[in-house]
Amino acid sequence: MSFTLDPVGTVRGGRAVVEDDDWGMVEAEIVLDPARFDAEALAGLDAFSHAEIIFLFDRVPDGKVETGARHPRGRKDWPRVGIFAQRGKNRPNRIGLTTCEILSVEGTCLRVRGLDAVDGTPVLDIKPVMSGFSPRGAVCEPDWAREIMADYW
């Protein structure tokens, strides 16, 4: 089975190139597709502090997609883990997900901080962060996962 997704908008601003770290203070806009949406699509989103942005890693070429295991960031001192046990961009469907701080909502433009997607990235969906959808119970992760995130934000 296959299906088609149409972007709801595009990332504007922020970084122009893909980098691994220091995304925490990056500010960018998500501009909705004016052919499909008007300001009503973002109505009420400004009442939330954060939004989950689902986007496409559109700059990953077919030949770089991973389906098996690898060392995250190529670091041999970290364990070899499957693509679904990490959050790298070379994923089978190239889908990214980031929780961002909402800075403002103006018309069809959502301004966010902490989006690790570059200028021109297609945005597939926007969802408000609701505490009821947060993990129930403690979150558990291996040491390498904490280490990889030390300088990410």
pLDDT of amino acid 21: 66
CA distance from start to end of the chain: 36
Look at residue 43 in the predicted model and tell me its pLDDT: 98
Which pLDDT belongs to residue 100? 97
144 pLDDT exceeds 80? yes
The angle at the Cα of 92, spanning 67 to 116, to the nearest 5 degrees, equals: 120
Q: CA dist 136 to 41, 42, 133, Å? A: 29, 28, 8
pLDDT in tens, 104-135: 999 999 999 999 999 999 999 999 999 999 99
Residues forming a β-bridge with 10? 31, 122
Q: How confident is the model at residue 24 (pLDDT cuts 50, 70, 90)?
A: confident
* Token reading at 31: 């501009």
Decide if pLDDT at 153 tops 90.
no
H or E segment to which residue 146 belongs: helix 143-148
Task: Record the pTM.
Answer: 0.93
